[in-house]
Amino acid sequence: MESMVPAGNPIRWLGQQLFNRQNPAVFFDPLLEVVNPLWVRRYLPAQVIGITEETHDIRTFELRPASRWGGFRPGQHLNLNVEIDGRWYARPFTLSCAPQQWRRRGTITLTVKKVPDGVVTGWMHDRMAVGDVVGITEAFGDEPNPRPDEPALFIAGGSGITPALSQLSAMSEQGRDAPVTLLYFVRTEKDVIRRETLEHLQQQLPQLTLKVVVSEPAGRVPEYLNEDHLRQIEGLGHHECFVCGPPGMMRAAGELLESSGVSPDQIHRTFFVAATPADGGDAEAGGTVTFARSSHEVLVEDGRSLLEVAEEAGLNPRYGCRMGICHQCSCRKSSGVVMNRLTGRASSPGEETIQLCISSPRGPVSLDL
Ligand SMILES: Cc1cc2nc3c(=O)[nH]c(=O)nc-3n(C[C@H](O)[C@H](O)[C@H](O)COP(=O)(O)OP(=O)(O)OC[C@H]3O[C@@H](n4cnc5c(N)ncnc54)[C@H](O)[C@@H]3O)c2cc1C
Ligand code: FES
């Protein structure tokens, strides 16, 4: 006689029948929440264990994720899930520490700017307290990590320092041969974030050249990123460049780096807010999109995003912000060229992860969806 119990994990199957849930473990969440909130199964819990005031609008939150959290690479992000007045919100933040901190002490840090009228960052600054438990996702993000023998340049503005903090802290743990430069732009002297960490990094990493630029000093002419800052970097064309900051700075950095001889492939950008699309249209937009896993093929004749194309084809891909910020819609492209609508750049034709909501096809494209 054929078994009613499907192959796989029979105990899990029994649990699903008894508790009528895909994940029976969450049935016990209300009880576990009282005993130890880090044991809860419906989200990855992390307990707030420290809060440091960095500047008038920036705080660093030290969290202790449940031990089953998978860790991260320098420069990666996570989504923080919090319940505020009965509603759940998810927001992305870059980890601002080295992975070694997680491995050694089991803690991570997020360094967060309070956005004016921001629901989640406002709540974090005003109401989140030591001892609270929040939800986090596994880390995500494809940003590369510079090799120890490869010169690197970080250009950061304001709270956009967080990816650089993580990468530089990791470098100081691993050791490094090649030079690394951090150009850090802040509005006023009081806006420097994690000053002690930066000083510590300078001591630990002799290869680090750190230049803090106060862009709006009282009574002096403002100083924004310009050719002079880049001219001081020897062999700039051989550097891997990492840029994170306000949209205006991101745009200027990209243009200046490219006009100084840095190839576009060497410029890696982390956007914190949706940038204005690079141009109004793409004359070469369109192509046949193959959704390989669901065996769908769609002919696209305009510059619609792959997220829209997938939804119109009846698929249900994961998404969050729909504007290139949260990375929830990340999907594997197995072949084909797509246009990034934020940067205005065409992708390579090979296999890579793309964000569906800001990518349009340029010729035939095959996706793992
Ligand atoms: C990959 C990634 C990593 C990030 N890492 C960090 C980090 O390490 N530290 C950090 O402080 N922030 C980081 N951010 C930005 C952070 O996610 C936003 O500040 C946050 O989502 C704002 O949420 P909120 O609920 O407070 O604001 P909302 O209530 O969602 O927005 C309120 C208003 O603020 C505007 N707004 C939203 N975000 C910003 C922003 N960043 N700057 C200016 N205006 C904004 C909105 O358009 C809206 O008008 C990151 C963003 C991304 C995409
Ligand atoms: S990046 Fe947020 S949905 Fe695409």
Q: Whose CA is nearest to atom 20 of ligand 1?
A: 91
CA 148 / ligand 1 centre spacing (Å): 31
CA 115 / ligand 1 centre spacing (Å): 7
Query: How many whole angstroms separate alpha carbon 194 and alpha carbon 30?
Result: 38
pLDDT at res. 3 = 43
How much of the chain exceeds pLDDT 70, in percent? 85
Ligand nearest to the CA of 93: 1
pLDDT at res. 25 = 57
Q: What is the C-alpha R_g of the chain?
A: 23
Mean per-residue pLDDT, 156-170? 97
Mean per-residue pLDDT, 216-242? 92
Pick the residue with more confidence: 103 or 143? 103
Confidence of residue 241 (pLDDT cuts 50, 70, 90): very high
Pick the residue with more confidence: 322 or 159? 159
Which stretch of 147-151, 194-198, 254-258, 341-345 has the lowest confidence by average pLDDT?
Answer: 341-345
Q: Is the pLDDT assigned to residue 118 strictly greater than 50?
A: yes
Which stretch of 12-16, 55-59, 117-121, 230-234 has the lowest confidence by average pLDDT?
Answer: 12-16
Query: How many whole angstroms separate alpha carbon 326 and alpha carbon 352?
Result: 18
Q: Is the pLDDT assigned to residue 303 strictly greater than 90?
A: no
Which of 122, 96, 98, 121 minimizes the C-alpha distance to 110? 96
- Which residues neighbour 144 within 8 Å (Cβ) at sequence distance 6 or greater? 75, 240, 268
To test the pocket of ligand 2, the residue of 327, 341, 343, 353 to mutate (highest count of ligand atoms within 8 Å of its CB) is 327
Q: Indicate if ligand 1 lies below 6 Å from the C-beta of 274.
A: no
Q: Is the pLDDT assigned to residue 15 strictly greater than 80?
A: no
- Give the angle subtended at the CA of 23 by the CAs of 130 and 137, to the nearest 5°: 40
pLDDT at res. 4 = 46
Q: Are 183 and 213 in contact (CB under 8 A)?
A: yes
Confidence of residue 1 (pLDDT cuts 50, 70, 90): very low
Helix (H, G, I), strand (E, B) or coil at 223: coil
Query: What is the biggest distance separating any 2 CA atoms in the chain, rounded to whole angstroms?
Result: 87
Q: How many CB atoms lie within 10 A of CB 40?
A: 21
pLDDT at res. 59 = 98
CA 102 / ligand 2 centre spacing (Å): 27
How much of the chain exceeds pLDDT 90, in percent? 67
Q: Tell me the whole-structure pTM to 2 decimals.
A: 0.78
Q: Indicate if ligand 2 lies below 6 Å from the C-beta of 134.
A: no
Q: Indicate if ligand 2 lies below 6 Å from the C-beta of 329.
A: yes
To test the pocket of ligand 1, the residue of 85, 93, 194, 249 to mutate (highest count of ligand atoms within 8 Å of its CB) is 93
Q: Are 335 and 264 in contact (CB under 8 A)?
A: no
Mean per-residue pLDDT, 216-238? 92
- Tokens for 63? 């969290």
Q: Whose CA is nearest to atom 48 of ligand 1?
A: 118
pLDDT digits (tens, 9 = 90+) for 319-364: 766 778 777 789 999 999 999 988 788 999 999 999 999 999 999 9
Confidence of residue 297 (pLDDT cuts 50, 70, 90): very high
Q: How many CB atoms lie within 10 A of CB 144?
A: 14
Q: Indicate if ligand 2 lies below 6 Å from the C-beta of 140.
A: no
Atom of ligand 2 nearest to the CA of 307: 4
Atom of ligand 2 nearest to the CA of 319: 3
Atom of ligand 1 nearest to the CA of 58: 11
Which of 243, 280, 287, 295 minimizes the C-alpha distance to 264? 243
Separation of CA 55 from chain center: 22
Mean per-residue pLDDT, 105-118? 97
Q: Indicate if ligand 1 lies below 6 Å from the C-beta of 61.
A: no
Helix (H, G, I), strand (E, B) or coil at 216: coil
Q: Is the pLDDT assigned to residue 276 strictly greater than 90?
A: no
Ordered by where they begin, the domains of the chain are: 21-136 (2.40.30.10), 152-270 (3.40.50.80), 287-367 (3.10.20.30)
Sheet holding 338-340, edge to edge: 345-346, 338-340, 359-361
pLDDT at res. 284 = 78
CA 291 / ligand 2 centre spacing (Å): 18
